[in-house]
């Protein structure tokens, strides 16, 4: 039976890391005033540094999404000595391409300028990188292509600038101290999200030297049939919980006045469901794959905030997959929440850490709150 392997991972972070004290210097202040909720939110999410494709001096954008994705691919190919002349398939996942169309993958292909090949894009938020990864994996596993490069990238900082946010944020400050979950409002997003790109080389044979990661399986489950939209952009949530997209607006001025293009989160829906439904999906995967937590050596959970760390620990144990903290690996605090790039950002750091040993297994959990979908990945070090 044929197999597929991760034979290299490249990442790219634009500019220098931004500390908590410097966020508003880069993104700007909402309504011309320092955020009164910033400190509480940062204490909750635990993030210390993140990256923005914005010049901290001029406030101008330094890269677009296609460019940071191309940088990650170039870092990958240089690291593993792979020529893009040999590439059969490119698949790019992101939550926010630089334009509505052409699709993101085509823009990345154009940015790099390598010879013709199959190019596709996947949409979503945190799971967009995984869906791109699964597309490339299936291509290689089925024998349709010898190799694939798949990416997850996010450039969200330009939408986090103060001009996109409304002054009503400060009216919620008192509630934040009473219920930490309430911090997941518009203001929360500004202190969490980060720009980054990750690129993965998938081939039909492991590397002759060094370590590879055999892709054992990938499961991707949506619960959109049971839950409404939770995290959204380019839309407004109505009283009946449906979304009104920006193209449905009769007066174009309303799109700006109502912050249609601010990243928004239904915090009540998030707090009640993001962890339990991840456990629900995990129970299903455990039964399907006969997943044994005792045989897992490394656990890479993507979560948006340290606030969810203990809840995740308890929920996976309830689902029959208890994993002690000593097996966990995450870099949220230093890289920020990089969305669809996050799992690749974690895997890259772990793969080149020198801590992996042949025969060890890696289990990855990637939740997406946009309308509650979850990805589960199992890898073996070879």
**Could you read off the pLDDT of 9-56 as tens digits, one per residue?**
999 999 999 999 999 999 988 777 787 778 888 888 899 999 999 999
Q: How much is the pLDDT for 171?
A: 44
Last residue of a domain, one of 181, 209, 237: 209
Which residues share a beta bridge with 25?
none
In the prediction, which pLDDT does 103 show?
Answer: 98
Tell me the pLDDT band of 257, cut-offs 50, 70 and 90.
confident
Question: Within a domain: residue 253?
Answer: no
Distance CA 131, CA 247 (A): 26
The average pLDDT across 148-164 equals 91
Query: CA separation (Å) from 296 to 6, 184, 299, 303, 361?
Result: 18, 32, 7, 19, 5
The domain in which residue 324 lies consists of 213-222+263-379
- Same structural domain, 185 and 310: no
Res 259 pLDDT > 50: yes
Does residue 278 sit in the same domain as residue 132? no
Provide the number of structural domains found in the chain: 2
Quickly state the pLDDT bin for 261 (edges 50, 70, 90). confident
Task: Give the number of other CB atoms < 10 A from CB of residue 35.
Answer: 23
Domain contains 243: no
Task: Output the CA angle 75-355-357, nearest 5 degrees.
Answer: 105
Shared-domain flag, residues 171 and 311: no
What pLDDT does residue 184 have? 41
**Cα 370-293-192 angle, rounded to 5 deg:** 30
Q: Which residues does 195 contact at the CB level (< 8 Å), separation at least 6? A: 13, 14, 50, 51, 52, 53, 63, 68, 154, 155, 156, 157, 338
Q: Is 149 within the bounds of a domain? A: yes
Q: Is the pLDDT of residue 363 over 50?
A: yes
Pair (79, 31) in one structural domain: yes
Closest residue by Cα to residue 344 from 12, 5, 16, 2: 12
Residues 111 and 205 in one domain: yes
Helix (H, G, I), strand (E, B) or coil at 89: strand
What is the DSSP pairing of strand 147-154 with strand 89-94? Answer: parallel
The per-residue pLDDT for range 67-124, each reduced to its tens digit, is 999 999 999 999 999 999 999 999 999 999 999 999 999 999 999 999 999 999 999 9
Q: What is the pLDDT of residues 179-213, one digit of tens each?
A: 544 344 566 678 889 999 999 999 999 999 999 99
Task: Look at residue 191 in the predicted model and tell me its pLDDT.
Answer: 85
């Amino acid at each position: 039976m044929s197999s597929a392997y991760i034979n290299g991972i490249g990442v790219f972070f634009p500019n220098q890391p931004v500390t908590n004290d410097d966020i508003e210097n880069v993104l700007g202040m909402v309504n011309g005033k320092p955020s009164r909720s910033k400190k509480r939110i940062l204490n909750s999410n635990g993030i210390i540094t993140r990256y923005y494709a914005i010049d901290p001096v001029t406030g101008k954008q330094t890269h677009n999404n296609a460019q940071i994705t191309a940088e990650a691919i170039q870092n990958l190919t240089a690291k593993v000595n792979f020529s893009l002349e040999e590439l059969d398939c490119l698949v790019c996942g992101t939550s926010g391409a630089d334009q509505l169309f052409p699709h993101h993958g085509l823009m990345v292909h154009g940015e790099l300028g390598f010879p013709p090949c199959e190019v596709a894009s996947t949409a979503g938020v945190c799971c967009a990188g995984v869906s791109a990864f699964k597309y490339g994996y299936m291509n290689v596993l089925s024998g349709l292509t010898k190799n694939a490069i798949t990416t997850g990238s996010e450039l969200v900082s330009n939408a986090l600038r103060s001009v996109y946010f409304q002054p009503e944020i400060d009216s919620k400050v008192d509630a934040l101290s009473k219920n930490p979950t309430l911090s997941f409002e518009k203001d929360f997003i500004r202190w969490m999200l980060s720009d980054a790109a990750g690129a993965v080389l998938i081939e039909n044979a492991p590397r002759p030297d060094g370590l590879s990661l055999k892709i054992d399986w990938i499961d991707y489950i949506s619960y959109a049939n049971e839950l409404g939209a939770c995290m959204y952009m380019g839309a407004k949530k109505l009283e009946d919980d449906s979304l009104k997209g920006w193209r449905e607006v009769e007066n174009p001025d309303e799109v700006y006045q109502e912050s249609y293009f601010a990243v928004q989160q239904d915090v009540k829906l998030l707090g009640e469901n993001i962890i339990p439904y991840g456990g629900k999906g995990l129970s299903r995967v455990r039964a399907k794959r006969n997943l044994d937590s005792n045989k897992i050596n490394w656990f890479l959970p993507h979560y948006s905030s340290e606030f969810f760390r203990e809840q995740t620990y308890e929920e996976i144990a309830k689902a029959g997959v208890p994993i002690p903290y000593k097996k966990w690996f995450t870099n949220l605090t230093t890289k920020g929440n990089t969305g669809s790039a996050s799992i690749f950002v974690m895997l890259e750091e772990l793969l080149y850490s020198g801590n992996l040993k042949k025969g060890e297994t890696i289990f990855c959990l990637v939740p997406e709150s946009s309308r509650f979908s979850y990805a589960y990945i199992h890898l073996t070090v070879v």
